[in-house]
Structure 1
Amino acid sequence: MNSLVVFESQFGNTEQVAQAIARGLRERGRAQVVAVDEAPAALADDLDLLVIGGPTHAFAMSRPDSRAAALSDGADATETGEREWLRTLPSPLPVPRVVTFSTRQGHSFLTGSAAKSAAKALRSHESVAAEVVDFFVAGKHGPLEEGELVRATEWGRHLVEA
């Protein structure tokens, strides 16, 4: 299985999750991890799985203004986020399987989810997210809640088996 994990990370938590997912994927295949601002505009023809993840900002994927606010709060914000990168992809997506993940504070559905927002954005590419998963941070800057990196690695293993 050939996988590409594309992530957006402001405080490093989402990147940690992306790397953990890739560890699980690599147990039975290949997985490349790429920051969204370095992600390819054209997806490889031999790609079996695309994993897209980012932090939840204001109930959804980040926007330029939410990244600017994170930057003023000490984040390593990028100019391009997963929202903008998704817009550059072709329709339909040339990948048989796509999944989304996000990091977010709080376990309530009221906090929103960048993963759900990304899954919704995939519909404009005539694609449906096969799975949507949230990973949890203890605070705005993190750290990740206990056990989340283990859960991310296990999810990566699951994605290969599914």
Structure 2
Amino acid sequence: MRALVVYESMFGNTEKLAEVIAQGIGTVMPTEICEVGEAPQTLAADIDLLVVGAPTHAHGLSRPSTRGEAEMMAAAAETHVRSEGIGVREWLAGLESGRTLSAAFDTHVSLSLPGRAARSIERRFQRLGLRVLDSRSFPVKGKIGPITDAELVKARRWAESLASTALAFDSTEADSTEAGRTAD
């Protein structure tokens, strides 16, 4: 059983979360992490857990126009955008997947606004036929962050729990498959 963590990040907050999440999952199973522009369009057969994260833009996943706005904000803050090119929206639109467990996460401003990127990712997972285990949102300070250490600790705990759930789910599936074989 292996996991793949894919992320899109504008100002580095979602990237930091993805790294912490990959470390947490890695305590339970081998885990690979990659930025969305480097992510494979077809999941390897041994990827049993796909975890995808993105920043919330305009109440959902980024679009080319909102990524352009993020680039302007980054320039004003004298920093650079981490994910240039495609975003999670476009990557998921072309993803070929198998029978994989999945989870989603996002970053968002601390304001109480409707819509989250994680929810948009979840809907796309369901359309792809992936089984969604969970999704989480993590607030950042201000419009460009940073993400707090407390949120990173929450993300690590969530990831460890997620990996344990996936492992338990995998063994339950194996048990039911084995039971079906002996009944023949």
Which category describes the TM-score, using the shorter chain as reference length?
over 0.9
Q: How big is the alpha-carbon RMSD for the aligned residues of Structure 1 and Structure 2?
A: 1.3
What is the aligned residue count? 159
Name whichever of 138-147 and 29-38 sits farther off: 138-147
Greater relative contact order structure (CA < 8 Å, 6+ sep):
1
Residue matched to 1:112 = 115
Partner residue of 2:130? 127
Identity %: 39
Structure 2 unpaired stretches of 5+: 75-79, 166-184
TM-score (norm 2): 0.82
TM-score by length of 1: 0.93
SS in 1 for 2:47: coil
Which whole-Å deviations, capped at 9, do the CAs of 1:77-106 have from their partners, x for residues lacking one?
41200000000112xx31430100000012
Match of 1:43 in 2: 43
CA contact (8 A) 2:3 2:51 kept: yes
Query: Deviations for 1:88-130, whole angstroms, at most 9, x for unmatched residues?
Result: 112xx3143010000001262x242100011112232123422
- Runs of 4 or more consecutive aligned structure 1 residues displaced over 6 Å after TM superposition: none
CA distance in 1, matches of 2:56, 2:35: 16
Q: Deviations over 1:22-68 (max 9, x none)?
A: 11111121111100000001111001100000000000000000001
Do the aligned partners of 2:2 and 2:31 also contact (CA within 8 Å) in 1? Answer: yes
Question: Which runs of no fewer than 5 residues in structure 1 stay unpaired?
Answer: none
Residue number in structure 1 paired with 2:170: none
